[in-house]
Amino acid sequence: MKVLFTNFHAGDGGGHTTYVTGLARGLASRHTIHVAAPPGSRLHREARAIAGVGVIDQPFPNGLGKLAARRRALHQLATWLRQNPVDIVHVNGSADHRLVMAAVRGLPVRPAIVLTKHNSKPMAGLGHRWRARFGTDMVIAVCEFVRRQLEASPYGRCRLATVFNGVDIHRFAPAAAASDERAAWLAPAAEGAALLIGSNAGTARYKGWMDLLEALALLRPEERERFRIVLAGGLPGADGLARVEALGIAHLVHFTGRLDDVRPMVACLDAGFVLSWDVETISFACREMMAMGKPVLVSDYAGLPENIRPGHDGWVVPVRDRQAMADALRALWASRHRLAGMGHAARMHAEEAFGLEHFVDATEEAYAGLLSSRA
């Protein structure tokens, strides 16, 4: 197969970048793979480091004020597709989807267009109806929650496949915690006197980290001291930091800033959390922490509960319910002797279901079924 992946993000790209690079790396040894991404983006940079993957400098300008740039981008992509016929164009957002639909017009053989839905936003309106009818052959859902959304949307008329996101369980594997770093984050608590709870899901507000801090503030003062919270991602703004101070728990919270490699931080944790209340679907971050042998507390938002076997390798709480989160923290402390065993169960779960091999093979199978049906 010849596959072109597209993604519109000019910056980090978050889970989109993780998704495309994982597929490109897994498929490159047995198929012809290209990635079209804006120059300077993380996807562009990381894809270039994958052996056997071709990378195209392709912007995806969006908005009425960028009509001239969109015409240039369209001409560039259409020219490339005429010169390099592909079987599948796999798009990952509305901006690249629209440009791809325009670029394939007039080709002698139109490639199949596959869309992955990465977020929980509704898919309604004229734009989605148009793309579903005229420019989408298959949609991949990253969890069962998303599949149900798709079935109730204009894309229900398309071929649907559920392929759960995979993570590199060899790279994200249990590792010894850096004792000096862990001890620094636990200060001023004595080593072993507090639990280190953290998240590598980022610090966007919808990730629910502030909900956890507000839940921590609901505990009695002596209970709060049993926990330290570590958050990886961009530093919060002044309002967020002021709120942490107002809660009286600033000494219990450490913001690492953006990390090039989150594994040393995750290795230090006793447990993780992803408490999203918007946008999220299945969460790469949750699966990475579980692969590293950490039980994870998640909200019951979208597909997050699909990661967890409650009480076995993690916990599920109602979305944005601070009291339920506070109760979960109390229960976590009470069962702290079980955390190592739950972490082992999380790792076993990851080995069974979260690996890149499952992810890549299931995507390849979905592609093959689509091309067979078109033939």
Partnered with residue 355 across adjacent β-strands are 167
Contact, 142 vs 282, CB < 8 A? yes
**pLDDT tens by residue, 144-198:** 999 999 999 999 999 999 999 999 999 999 998 888 889 889 988 877 789 999 9
Q: What is the pLDDT of residue 108?
A: 95
Mean pLDDT (the chain) is 96
**E strands present in 17-73:** 32-37, 53-57
Order of all β-strands in the sheet with 253-257: 253-257, 227-232, 195-199, 271-274, 296-299, 314-317
Q: What's the average model confidence in pLDDT over 295-306?
A: 98
Q: Is a pLDDT exceeding 80 seen at residue 7?
A: yes
pLDDT of residue 322: 98
When comparing pLDDT for 163 and 260, which is higher? 163
Mean pLDDT to the nearest integer, 245-250? 98
Q: Which of 105, 115, 145 is nearest to 279 (CA)?
A: 145
pTM comes to 0.95
Q: Using 50, 70 and 90 to split pLDDT, how confident is the model at 251? A: very high
What are the boundaries of each domain within the chain? 2-166+355-374, 179-353
Burial of 373 (0-12, 13-18, 19+ CB in 10 A): exposed
- pLDDT for the residue numbered 187: 82
Across the range 319-335, mean pLDDT stands at: 98
As beta bridge partners, residue 271 has 197
Asked if CATH classification 3.30.9.10 holds for the domain at 2-166+355-374, the reply, yes or no, is: no
Report the pLDDT value the prediction gives residue 65, as an integer from 0 to 100: 83
Same fold, 2-166+355-374 and 179-353: yes
Average pLDDT of the segment spanning 58-63: 93
Class of domain 179-353: alpha beta
Q: How far apart are CA 325 and CA 115, in angstroms?
A: 35
Q: How much of the chain exceeds pLDDT 90, in percent?
A: 93
Question: In sequence order, what are the beta bridge partners of 299?
Answer: 317
Task: Give the tokens for residue 106.
Answer: 């007039």
Q: 130-141: buried (b, 16+ CB within 10 Å) or exposed (e) per residue?
A: ebbeebbbbbbb
**Residues of the chain above pLDDT 70, percent:** 100
pLDDT digits (tens, 9 = 90+) for 93-134: 999 999 999 999 999 999 999 999 999 999 999 999 999 999
DSSP for 146-215, written as a single string: HHHHHHTSGGGGSEEEE----B-TTTS------HHHHHHHHTTSPTTSSEEEEE-S---GGG-HHHHHHH
Q: In this predicted structure, what is the pLDDT of residue 215? A: 98
Distance CA 284, CA 288 (A): 6
Q: Which amino acid, one-letter code, is at 244?
A: V
For position 181, what pLDDT does the model report?
87
